[in-house]
Structure 1
Amino acid sequence: MDAYLAAMLVFAGLYALMALGLNLAWGLAGMVNLGLAGFVAVGAYGSALLTVRLGWPMPLGIAAGTLLAAVAGAGLALLVARLRGDYLAIVTLGFAEVIRLIASNETWLTNGTDGISGIPGPLRGAVTPQQFNLVLLGLVWGSVGLVFLLSARLSHSPFGRVLRALREDEEVAAVAGKPVLAFRVRAFALGTAICGLAGALYAHYNGYVAPDGFAPLLTIYIVLALTAGGGGSMRGAVAGAVLVIVLLEGTRFLAGAIPGLAPVQHAALREASVALALLLLLRWRQQGLIPERTLTKAAP
């Protein structure tokens, strides 16, 4: 049971990292990103290939996976610079599917649907599995704490205020002399870099990556986490990620406690329970659990 709780806390931390990355682009800058799973996959496969095939040290592999995701995000942001709203959502979603298809079909590089195994982890084999979970727990949540502090500082900096201006009215920000494209690309790249970091940590924790682990459902969970926690709020992003993990795992026991249901019905009941809980939350807390604090002062 202790190993299970530690594993769930690790995944909660990974979800929190992804939510913080999504929050930079979507919550602050208003740039819809439904290709989250693709950038997580870039970070995971990048670090896995470099450490397994080329024998790179794990810290360098994680750093390289993070950088690859940032480069991919910046490139995509430049390509879709003129797209907004639904069009941007469709293109980013398509990007994630392209990455997943490449991982599934380019067997010479990714080993196809068989995935990449034997990915090294910190102290894996030198400590017990329970201790390994605790080591990764500290590493993942240490990364969450560092990213949280940096994101919070960024959010309250002039850069963060420009991102909020772009979110509210891009034309006004452009008239004020702000280079809109440069800010959009930087925000998108920073957000995808954090997602790439989460992917790299996931690869070294799991020891195995395969295309099925980066399905669109992952993006949906993170979008739900940010929405439930509060868009634009760093604390809300972390709280929403923990909430989603609690709901997903809590409903697992709830569905299993009901006799006479087939496994498919158990899965359907879990999804319905999560959806109902999030709908009720957003009904009574439309801005999320911890909404973004407004920086404007009330008129006298």
Structure 2
Amino acid sequence: MLAYLIFALTIGGIYALLALSLNLIWGGIGLVNLGLVGFFALGAYASALLTGAGLPVLFGWGGAIVVGAIAGLVVTLATTRLRDDYLAIVTLGLAEVIRLVALNERWLTNGSDGISGIQAPMKSALGNQGFNLFYLALVSVIVLVVWLALRRLDRSPYGRAMKAIREDQELAGFAGKNVLGFKVQAFAVSAALAGLAGALYAHFQSYISPDHFQPLITIYIFLAVAAGGVGRPAGGVLGAYVVVFFLELTRFLPDLVPWLAPAQFAACREILVGLSLILVLRFRPQGLLPEQIVPAPKS
């Protein structure tokens, strides 16, 4: 039971990092990334391939951050002439392209068989239980550091400029803000965080395949941010843990409804996820931790 709880908390931390990534652009500057899982996959495969080539794990994580940031830059710069809703469509397509490339380019990703034997830092020295506790602590510290950084950003003049662009980008542009520059920077940082989350996931699981990066993960993260509170970093973190524990608790539903076949039960779980999102948006649209707009300091 303890091992299962540690696993759930670790996955919750990785999802929290993804939620912080999404909240930065969705709640911060008003961009919607429907392909979050694609950047998650890029980070996972980048780190797995780099460490598989003999590089240390830290280099793999750094490579995942760089690959994610570059992908974010390419996507935003390639859609500068399009409206923001088209950016959401482009990211959705990009995520599926990344998954299909991972599925079909066996020379690079080993196709549907995936990549196994990914380095797990300190596992040989700590053993399974010790490694799980160590990795939980590591992921928790990373989430805490990222949360503190984004919280500070949120309350800074830069963060207030992002919120102004979110509310009315034309007015922000008239006020002298470089709207495109803010969007590109925010999306690149968001994609880098998603890439880091993917790298952490790969080295925790020690195995990744295209099946690990289904579009449903993006829906889970959107549910986490919506449930926690769009525009507030703490809300995204809280929502991520709530969603993970909700998903894990529903695994025990077959004990309550034994007449359902496994395929029917899997479908019911997804129905419950969708219903939860609808209920949150209907009865608590501001989330569990509503956004708090900090007034600018008086000059």
Q: Same fold (TM over 0.5)?
A: yes
Contact 1:251–1:274 (CA under 8 A) maintained in structure 2: no
Residue of structure 2 equivalent to 1:41? 41
Identity %: 55
Structure 1 residue 85: deviation in Å? Answer: 4.2
Question: Which one-letter code corresponds to 2:21 in the other structure?
Answer: G
Unaligned runs of at least 5 residues, structure 1: none
Contact 1:256–1:266 (CA under 8 A) maintained in structure 2: no
Aligned residue for 2:126, secondary structure, equals: coil
CA distance in 2, matches of 1:84, 1:228: 27
Residue of structure 2 equivalent to 1:174? 173
Residue of structure 1 equivalent to 2:247? 248
Structure 1 residue 268: deviation in Å? Answer: 2.1
CA distance in 2, matches of 1:24, 1:241: 14
Unaligned runs of at least 5 residues, structure 2: none
Residue of structure 2 equivalent to 1:157? 156
Contact 1:31–1:84 (CA under 8 A) maintained in structure 2: no
Work out whether 1:126 is the aligned partner of 2:121: no
Describe how 1:131-146 pairs up with structure 2 within 5 A. 131-146=130-145
CA distance in 2, matches of 1:102, 1:202: 19
Aligned residue for 1:128, secondary structure, equals: helix
Structure 1 residue 74: deviation in Å? Answer: 1.1
Describe how 1:217-296 pairs up with structure 2 within 5 A. 217-296=216-295
Question: Which one-letter code corresponds to 2:240 in the other structure?
Answer: A
> Which shifted more, 65-74 or 272-281?
272-281
CA distance in 2, matches of 1:83, 1:145: 35
CA distance in 2, matches of 1:30, 1:18: 16
Contact 1:233–1:293 (CA under 8 A) maintained in structure 2: yes
Question: Which one-letter code corresponds to 2:190 in the other structure?
Answer: G
Contact 2:19–2:237 (CA under 8 A) maintained in structure 1: yes
Task: Identify if the C-alpha distance between structure 1 residues 227 and 82 changes in structure 2 by more than 3 Å, giving closer, same or farther.
Answer: farther
CA distance in 1, matches of 2:258, 2:51: 46
Q: Normalising to structure 1: TM-score of the pair?
A: 0.95
Contact 2:76–2:184 (CA under 8 A) maintained in structure 1: yes
Count of matched residue positions in the alignment of Structure 1 and Structure 2: 296
CA distance in 1, matches of 2:110, 2:83: 36
Residue of structure 2 equivalent to 1:186? 185
CA distance in 2, matches of 1:295, 1:15: 26
CA distance in 2, matches of 1:263, 1:46: 34
Contact 2:76–2:87 (CA under 8 A) maintained in structure 1: no
Residue of structure 2 equivalent to 1:210? 209
Q: Normalising to structure 2: TM-score of the pair?
A: 0.95
Contact 1:122–1:135 (CA under 8 A) maintained in structure 2: no
CA distance in 1, matches of 2:217, 2:148: 25
Structure 1 residue 114: deviation in Å? Answer: 1.1
**Any idea what the Cα deviations from partners look like across 1:174-231, whole Å, max 9, x if unmatched?**
1111111111000000111111110000010000111111111111111111111111
CA distance in 2, matches of 1:81, 1:156: 27
Contact 2:225–2:239 (CA under 8 A) maintained in structure 1: yes
